[in-house]
Amino acid sequence: MKNLIKLTTLILLSGVLFSSATAGDKEFSGIIIYNITYENSDLDPQMLAMMPKTLKIKIKGEKVLTEISMGMGKTVTVYDAETNTGLTFMDMMGQKYAMKMTSNDFNKEIANGPEVEVITTDETMEVAGYMCKKATVKILDGDMKDSEHIVYFTDELGSGMVNKIDPMYKDINGIMLDYKMVEDGMTMKLSAISVEKKKLSDADFEIPEGYNIMSKSDFENMFGGH
């Protein structure tokens, strides 16, 4: 369950990365689907088999919804960039729990992030029909010091403002379509397999009912997140 908490945090931050996506003066509205693979993982084979294989992200202006399924159930995250708050809903084996993250919770996540250096190159790669630029993100301190992460991003779907809340990728000037999320020994690599521009309604971001909503700290204490 502790690994599930880590994965939930990664999923939540993944959704945040795509908040308030704009291309010029026009807001991006649509759905991006990513394929998920795991690298350098210390998960045992049974747990790895239960991990999700795809991530769906819905974007409309300031609102983002991420949806992911795994062996034990389904997780949905709703994030509002205007208030900088989010709710993660987990339906696991018939039990429904929700973790609320406040603006302070997000600020703490950012404050605990590493110092990084971003080097953008002229190298490109096509991802989900979009020509993406390559950037190398080098970690300058912390547990992952001197490690490097490769990112492919496009400015056709949004500006670098979408990454401002993640200290590792805050200087990436576009939507990332191929990148990694890292938490302790778990590395989750996301590669977009489809990008669909479409109008979404407020109903697509409705908060589900029937969940026991608790704070991030209470949620982590309950499931042994620390």
For position 153, what pLDDT does the model report? 92
Instruction: Give the helix/strand (H/E) hosting 34.
Output: strand 29-39
Dist. CA 5–CA 21, nearest whole Å: 27
Range picked from 87-96, 106-115, 195-204 for highest mean pLDDT: 195-204
Residue 25 has pLDDT above 50, yes or no: no
Residue 123: pLDDT band with limits 50, 70, 90: very high
Residue 76 has pLDDT above 70, yes or no: yes
Q: Which of 14, 65, 15, 12 is nearest to 179 (CA)?
A: 14
Dist. CA 110–CA 86, nearest whole Å: 15
Per the CB < 8 A criterion, the answer to whether 22 and 156 are in contact is no
Residues 27-71 have pLDDT tens digits of 678 899 999 888 766 777 887 777 888 889 888 877 888 888 877
Give the residue, 130 or 13, on which the prediction is more confident: 130
Residue 184: pLDDT band with limits 50, 70, 90: low
pTM listed for this prediction: 0.82
Residue 20 has pLDDT above 70, yes or no: no
pLDDT average, residue stretch 5-20: 56
Dist. CA 96–CA 75, nearest whole Å: 10
pLDDT average, residue stretch 79-92: 83
Residue 177 has pLDDT above 80, yes or no: yes
Residue 13 has pLDDT above 70, yes or no: no
Residue 191 has pLDDT above 90, yes or no: yes
> What mean pLDDT value characterizes the chain?
80
HEC readout, the chain: CHHHHHHHHHHHHHHHHCCCCEECCEECEEEEEEEEEEECCCCCHHHHHHCCCEEEEEEECCEEEEEEEECCEEEEEEEECCCCEEEEEEEECCEEEEEEECHHHHHHHHHCCCCEEEEEEEEEEEECCEEEEEEEEEECCCCCCCCEEEEEEECCCCCHHHHCCCCCCCCCCCEEEEEEEEECCEEEEEEEEEEEECCCCHHHHCCCCCCEEEEHHHHHHHHCCC
pLDDT average, residue stretch 117-136: 94
Per the CB < 8 A criterion, the answer to whether 66 and 90 are in contact is no
